[in-house]
Amino acid sequence: MSRIGNSPIAIPEGVTIDIKDNLVTVKGKLGELSQEFSAVTVKVEDGNIIVQRSTEIKEHKAKHGLYRSLFSNMVEGVSKGYTKELELVGVGYRASNQGQRLDLALGFSHSIVLNIASEVKIETISEKGKNPIIKLTSHDKQLVGQVAAKIRSFRRPEPYKGKGIKFVGEQLRRKAGKTA
């Protein structure tokens, strides 16, 4: 029994849902998202989205909760949006942006320049005495996570000093250094 798949998704004001064939389109104040689906039926009743599976096959059970979560993320994304913040920890680590172009100085011999998708809004915050922060905002949860993971992959946090790019609020497992 899928507990996640059985719970209905409340539709907030200003969000419209359009279901045609095997495609759900969600429109809101922040944008528009579409998702194809299979093995489930989707209905809109009394201001809620209800996802039901047709059979008890293992694949259908697995997709029941998956599609319910994807539709829930879409509804929340077009109404509230998603934000990820990355912190650059290390001496000389800097970040700056010009429009959708992110420029990172991470201790390599060259700076890293990354062009960010137009759906993601990027902001860099640099205050004296604090670590630089990169703030990513979008209506698409998957896209924000993918861009954040790409940026983090340039310099993952290392376990001894904690230098690298980490998410704000992330707890790192630290190791003790060698004892003399």
Percentage of the chain modeled with pLDDT above 90: 88
Residue 54 has pLDDT above 90, yes or no: no
Task: Give domain 3-79's CATH architecture.
Answer: Alpha-Beta Complex (3.90)
Q: What is the pLDDT of residue 44?
A: 94
Across 30-54, average pLDDT: 93
pLDDT tier at 2 (50, 70, 90 boundaries)?
Answer: low
Which CATH number among 3.50.50.60, 3.90.930.12, 3.40.50.300, 3.40.50.620 corresponds to the domain 82-167?
3.90.930.12
Cα 69 to the center of its chain, rounded Å: 13
Q: What is the pLDDT of residue 128?
A: 92
Percentage of the chain modeled with pLDDT above 70: 98
Please indicate, yes or no, whether the overall pTM of this predicted structure exceeds 0.85: yes
Round the average pLDDT of the chain to a whole number and report it: 93
C-alpha distance from residue 47 to each of 20, 66, 73, 103, 157 (Å): 18, 21, 16, 44, 44
Domain boundaries for CATH 3.90.930.12 within the chain: 3-79, 82-167
**Which pLDDT tens digit goes with each residue over 119-173?**
999 999 999 999 999 999 999 999 999 999 999 999 999 999 999 999 999 999 9
Q: What is the pLDDT of residue 50?
A: 94
